[in-house]
Amino acid sequence: MAWHRRHFSLPAYRRGFHLITEAIVEALPELDQIQVGMLHVFIQHTSASLTINENADADVRTDLEASFNALAPESFPYVHTCEGPDDMPAHVKAAMLGSSVTIPVANGRLLLGVWQGIYLCEHRNHGGSRRLVLTLWGEAA
């Protein structure tokens, strides 16, 4: 059984939903060696999140952002407001989506569906760089 861990930083992204599948694969050259295994991706932040969703039509990203803004609007009377009006809604959105995804691996590739991609969900207007922990484990080829 092989284990690989990588601490990986993404550059700052604007608020919204961003496909990061390729960046994750490029950060893990050991992926090619795994015959069968799992990749766990964890974000070390509370105002951004990760999810898996459609990777083909950019309108999905636009609609996801609009939907989450409607679910957790900045105009809600939050108590935690010391970090700006976009902070508490960002925490709510991150709580709904979660801080990690796990993807099966086979024959050196992620077993995502044809229309699936890994998203960084940036919920802040100026969230900055985001840190990920990538943990890959499995049987080597």
Q: Token digits for 1?
A: 């059984």
Task: Categorize the per-residue pLDDT at 61 as very low, low, confident or very high, splitting at 50, 70 and 90.
Answer: very high
What pLDDT was estimated at residue 58? 94
124: left (phi over 0), alpha (psi -120 to 50) or beta: beta
58: left (phi over 0), alpha (psi -120 to 50) or beta: alpha
> What mean pLDDT, rounded, does the chain reach?
97
Predicted local distance difference test score (pLDDT) of residue 141:
78
Q: What percent of the chain has pLDDT over 90?
A: 99
Which pTM value belongs to this model?
Answer: 0.96
117 pLDDT exceeds 90?
A: yes
Look up the CATH architecture of domain 2-140: Sandwich (2.60)
* pLDDT at position 73 over 90: yes
Residue 95 pLDDT exceeds 90: yes
